[in-house]
Amino acid sequence: MSSGKPTELDFLPAVDLDDISKKPILEIAARFWDRDRYEAFRTCYRSMRQIDDLVDHRKSSPLAITVEERSQLKNRMDDWVRGIKSGDTNEVFDRELIEVLKEYKIPFWPWKRFYKSMVYDLEHNGYSSIISFLRYSEGAAIAPASIFMHLCGIRKTNGVYYEPPFDIRIAARPLALFCYFVHIIRDFQKDHKNNLNYFADDQLERYGLTLRDLKAMAQGAPITASFRELISRYKKIAGYYRAMSLEVLSLFLPMLKPRYQLSIEMIYSLYLQIFERIDVEHGSYTEDELNPSPEEVKVRIIRTINDFSPVVQVAPFRV
């Protein structure tokens, strides 16, 4: 990219590929943004990560959560979401987040939906059905993805950001669900070693599986035929949302500037890399098997950049 002539990739920042290849996928994708938007992304996701980790840390404990402890954790989350909505908080980081929401015109609803999913997580042990899991995903996966899509879609005019001219939830939903179902398969071993389960009860019943079975396999017991059928089912669901995401993104990518188009394609490509590693018939579904190495991720990043061709922008942005 140093010929001196303008290219379609002149927007690419100077990034250390060896460094970013070790980061979470969303952070890798956001590194191709303008610096200010990247910092806004980090602030938003750190906020959600704090609450998610609070719940996961407690649920991963083998000790049963008491009614009093559950109430205390819920009160902490209540204060968190109420402070963000009202702007009435003395927490330094929450004040920083509130300023980001104002400057970047980020709507409040993703935080509200995320909060509801975290409360559900705290008060329930699993999901009765795929439908109940999808409701949970509205907050746990689609809400964060909608913030990402919002930050891709805003435009700056005369120093002021304006909202995207499309529904960020509709734009984000299929890709978020593709990534989430892949995520569940990828993290099967890690999650069940930590007493966390994201497979729906009706699907476990369908294939004659119990949580004890899953934990045993996560700890090294032989993979059963029934578990392979469960993974096959989840991979097919992921494939369904993969196909849907390609259709939906074909409508919305033309509304984004090239660097933000690339960031969305980077998310898709890096999750597809994991999706392609899921060997239903012969896989052991371990962390080592399903997680690409940093070098493999780096190669995929380079390939995605080299294959990238910006979609011509056809939709005007409202200002």
The percentage of residues in the chain with a pLDDT greater than 70, rounded to a whole number, is 93
State yes or no: pLDDT of 94 exceeds 50.
yes
Q: Return the closest-CA partner of residue 97 out of 111, 77, 109.
A: 111
Q: What is the pLDDT of residues 36-70, one digit of tens each?
A: 999 999 999 998 988 888 888 877 777 778 888 88
What's the pLDDT at 83?
Answer: 85
What's the pLDDT at 86?
Answer: 82
Distance CA 98, CA 40 (A): 11
What's the pLDDT at 147?
Answer: 97
pTM: 0.91
Q: What is the pLDDT of residues 235-284, one digit of tens each?
A: 999 999 999 999 999 999 999 999 999 999 999 999 999 999 999 999 99
What's the pLDDT at 4?
Answer: 41
State yes or no: pLDDT of 318 exceeds 50.
no
What's the pLDDT at 225?
Answer: 98
Q: Return the closest-CA partner of residue 245 out of 317, 109, 149.
A: 149
- Is residue 297 within 8 Å of residue 273, measured between CB atoms? yes
Dihedral of CA atoms 36, 149, 44, 82 in degrees, nearest 10, equals 130
What would the two tokens of residue 256 be? 């984004």
Q: What is the pLDDT of residues 195-235, one digit of tens each?
A: 999 999 999 999 999 999 999 999 999 999 999 999 999 99
| CA 170 from centroid of its chain's CA atoms | 15
- Structural domains in the chain, CATH included, are 24-307 (1.10.600.10)
In this structure, of 62-71, 173-182, 209-218, 291-300, the range with the lowest mean pLDDT score is 62-71
Distance CA 294, CA 292 (A): 7
> What single letter denotes the amino acid at residue 250?
S
Supply the mean pLDDT for the chain: 90
What's the pLDDT at 70?
Answer: 87
